[in-house]
Structure 1
């Protein structure tokens, strides 16, 4: 599996154009639109989790509500928010069991200008990453993405799904 030193450059300008001008990538994925495929990990009917298409860390996962919501606080009742956080926790534990990270980063990113659908990132930091390459540095696509093959996504997805099925 590729590590941090195996990252390749990403066309950030093309990515930005796409997320700012095309349909919500999460809604397109959930509707099964061709070209919007991701590796499914979890689905409870209200929330889903899948491996991110442009991982900066092996196992970088997104957890999302099925319903298109754009504000991580205002668009949820307290019960809905806590339910989503329970899924984030469950998925993060499964990813951690498979990958054994030094640290797991959990954060909600996005913008009303692109990637507006609320999504939580589960980003497992591998052991031994030098401090200066951790935290935001480890998450930034400006430092490249891992050149994963569909087979690598499928193999890791199967391992994480197996843990989720037993937990």
Structure 2
């Protein structure tokens, strides 16, 4: 069963659908620890980031699709400046501005992708993915409780198989809705 509707090219997820493919955790760790900062690479227009389709960008922030989504519509939001600590590297105004942007993008995600709840969290560490970023992760309706929360977020439990074309179509829909969402960035 496909996760994407051939008519809309948007994620469709049901609890009974076989939705995940194995994730190469060792390759991922090697990429994050040995490669460039992925947010800075996307901002620089580096090649090889076709899945990280940008859905929003302003003077201070960027929002883009997660390269390794564990659920349909997963988006990352980051400040453009390479900061690493969610609390101590941002002054109050920068933090508030970032959180307003996270909310704006989350509202757009909820308008495009069905969700029972939207998870918002900041991950990363000094060992890898150091650039501060927030995950916006819409929990698909009907996901069994035992497979919610951290379980659904962990790439170790599999990622959604999708194509760059599907990422582009989803990003296009999200960009249109983000432009309509009140509250600015």
Question: Aligned ranges for residues 2-151 of structure 1 at < 5 Å?
Answer: 3=13, 5-37=18-50, 38-151=52-165
Rounded Cα–Cα distance in structure 2 between residues aligned with 1:53 and 1:46: 21
TM-score (norm 2): 0.88
Query: Which secondary structure state, in structure 2, belongs to the residue aligned with residue 76 of structure 1?
Result: coil
Query: Which secondary structure state, in structure 2, belongs to the residue aligned with residue 105 of structure 1?
Result: strand
Rounded Cα–Cα distance in structure 1 between residues aligned with 2:107 and 2:180: 12
Structure 1 range deviating more: 21-30 or 83-92? 21-30
Query: Which secondary structure state, in structure 2, belongs to the residue aligned with residue 14 of structure 1?
Result: helix
Q: CA deviation at 1:86?
A: 0.2
Q: CA deviation at 1:5?
A: 2.7
TM-score (norm 1): 0.97
Rounded Cα–Cα distance in structure 2 between residues aligned with 1:111 and 1:74: 14
Q: What RMSD over aligned residues (CA atoms) do the two structures have, in Å? A: 1.0
Rounded Cα–Cα distance in structure 2 between residues aligned with 1:125 and 1:71: 26
Rounded Cα–Cα distance in structure 1 between residues aligned with 2:49 and 2:164: 13
In terms of fraction of residues, the more helix-rich structure is 1
In terms of fraction of residues, the more strand-rich structure is 1
- Alignment gaps of 5+ in structure 2: 5-10
**Residues 36-77 of structure 1, C-alpha deviations (whole Å, 9 max, x = no match):** 342010001110100000000000000000000000011000
Q: CA deviation at 1:158?
A: 1.0
Number of aligned positions between the proteins: 167
